[in-house]
Amino acid sequence: MKRVLLIVGGGIAAYKSCELVRLLRKRGHAVRCVLTEGASHFVTPMTLAALSEDRVYTSLWDLKDEHEMGHIQLSREADLVVVAPATADLLARMAGGQAGDLATTVLLATDKPVLAAPAMNVRMWLHPATRRNVESLRTDGVRVMEPDEGAMACGEWGPGRLPEPPAIADAIEAMLNPTGRPLAGRHALVTAGPTHEPIDPVRYLANRSSGRQGFAIAGALAALGARVTLVAGPVALATPAGVDRVDVETAREMAVAAQAAMPADIAVMVAAVADWRVEERAQKTKKGETAPDLRLIENPDILASIAQSPTRPRLVIGFAAETERVVEHAVAKRVRKGADWIVANDVSGDVMGGEANAIHLVTDTGVEDWPRLPKQAVAARLADRIAAALGD
């Protein structure tokens, strides 16, 4: 059992701290909470006390605790200090080394690792002052997660949402158990999402890939200790914790970015790359009496080029999205592309853009049929298989 000191910052996302405490307790960790004055407007000490089964601390001026130097004890007794949500104000005070309340005093006094999960308005997150504060904290050794992107309580959209509690819990687990990361020292290349192939300045060829499965795999590999380079097509997803992201649009850009990421120990080619592109037109194609003739040009085969590269990764994994004879096509694709494994799935339903996947893992020893699972669970299971294969 590890001991986590959770500092809850003020902001609407403070309500998610309750779920985070529940998850950590379920995983067997002891949780002690420090509630800032702002956070107390969103969640009560009684709620956190009930969930953590421990006292909640709110004030630097509790005479009994301060007689015993309570803020020092709090900062030293934990194995990890977590700030969630970390508001723009709290990040600024952390970066400035302030100690005006219990939360910042504990943070300044601690000699333990610190993890911060930001939550704020998109403009606040993108403001140069916040960017400087985050960079300063990271330089000082604080692990600052990337916020999620999406709709906010203020009605705006963009990066700044608190990462979901399971993602924060996974990041906590990785920091608490750094030696239990079997992919530490390995470099993984992951591609994810669709590609957009321009027809003219306003139109493009694309597909319905959401990128969720590839992003989940990148996050799962990072959680096992890998250094992950994620080459992402045009999707609106938050970068998983601990992942280096390269954004591209077309198949040719993805091919260049994938080759630039080499050498790698692992390549997981999840992206739904467009097989063809169009001879792009400089001006918008006007609607006429007949449909325009589009000349299709074959795009580079990224999976095959990585599998045949002089710096070929030790494990090359491709994906096969099929609508019929799924396993048969996947078995043939593995041989044709030179991949070690093919992860095949039937996309005739709601898989592309959906939340779950039922896959078939094709290797040189046979085919494994996995049950339908949430994409995060598929990612975790695949990452474990990768770690086991490289361990062998």
Tell me the Cα Rg of the chain.
24
Separation of alpha carbons 312 and 302, rounded Å: 12
In this structure, the chain runs to a length of: 392
Q: Supply angle C-alpha 247, 359, 229, rounded to 5.
A: 25
Helix (H, G, I), strand (E, B) or coil at 296: strand
72-109 pLDDT, tens per residue?
A: 778 888 999 999 999 999 999 999 999 999 999 999 99
Which of 87-101, 173-187, 192-206 bottoms out in mean pLDDT, i.e. has the lowest?
173-187
Separation of alpha carbons 351 and 210, rounded Å: 9
What does the block give as tokens for 95?
A: 């970066």
Q: Say which amino acid occupies 110.
A: T
Res 63: pLDDT? 44
What's this model's pTM, rounded to 2 decimal places?
Answer: 0.60
pLDDT at 176 over 70: yes
Percent of the chain at pLDDT above 90? 62
pLDDT category at 312 given cuts 50, 70, 90 is: very high
pLDDT at 66 over 50: no
**Is 147 within 8 Å of 163 (Cβ atoms)?**
yes
Q: What is the mean pLDDT of residues 42-70?
A: 80
Res 64: pLDDT? 58
Separation of alpha carbons 235 and 194, rounded Å: 8
Separation of alpha carbons 310 and 392, rounded Å: 23
Q: In the 8-state DSSP scheme, what is residue 194?
A: B
Q: What are phi and psi of 4, to 5 degrees?
A: -115, 130
Q: Which of 35, 140, 145 is nearest to 96 (CA)?
A: 140
pLDDT category at 51 given cuts 50, 70, 90 is: very high
Arithmetic mean of pLDDT over the chain: 89
Res 19: pLDDT? 95
Separation of alpha carbons 244 and 22, rounded Å: 30
Q: Which of 104, 3, 117, 103 is nearest to 52 (CA)?
A: 3
Q: Where are the beta strands (DSSP E) in 173-314?
A: 187-192, 197-198, 204-205, 227-232, 243-247, 266-269, 276-278, 296-298
Separation of alpha carbons 292 and 289, rounded Å: 9
Burial of 169 (0-12, 13-18, 19+ CB in 10 A): buried
Res 330: pLDDT? 93
Q: Say which amino acid occupies 12.
A: I
Helix (H, G, I), strand (E, B) or coil at 218: helix
Res 349: pLDDT? 66
Look up 33 and say whether it is catalytic: no
Q: What is the mean pLDDT of residues 170-199?
A: 88
pLDDT at 238 over 90: no
115-172 pLDDT, tens per residue?
A: 999 999 999 999 999 999 999 999 899 999 988 888 777 778 888 999 999 889 988 9
**Active-site option among 129, 151, 153, 154:** 154
Q: What is the mean pLDDT of residues 204-208?
A: 87
Res 355: pLDDT? 76
Res 125: pLDDT? 94
Res 74: pLDDT? 83
Handedness of CA 47, 114, 184, 273 (dihedral sign): positive
What does the block give as tokens for 131?
A: 């960017």
Separation of alpha carbons 388 and 269, rounded Å: 19
Q: What is the mean pLDDT of residues 302-324?
A: 93
All domains of the chain in start order, with CATH = 3-179 (3.40.50.1950), 182-391 (3.40.50.10300)
Q: In the 8-state DSSP scheme, what is residue 227?
A: E
pLDDT at 71 over 70: no
Looking at per-residue pLDDT, the higher value among 179 and 280 belongs to 280
Separation of alpha carbons 89 and 98, rounded Å: 11
pLDDT at 335 over 70: yes
pLDDT at 69 over 60: no
Q: Where does the chain have alpha helices with state H? A: 16-26, 45-52, 63-67, 70-77, 88-95, 102-109, 122-126, 128-139, 165-176, 212-223, 251-260, 302-307, 326-337, 375-391
Q: What is the mean pLDDT of residues 363-378?
A: 90
Classify the phi-psi angles of 40: left when phi > 0, otherwise alpha if psi is within -120 to 50, otherwise beta.
alpha
Q: In the 8-state DSSP scheme, what is residue 342?
A: E
pLDDT at 348 over 80: no
pLDDT category at 68 given cuts 50, 70, 90 is: low
Q: What is the mean pLDDT of residues 366-385?
A: 90
Separation of alpha carbons 227 and 243, rounded Å: 7
pLDDT category at 351 given cuts 50, 70, 90 is: low
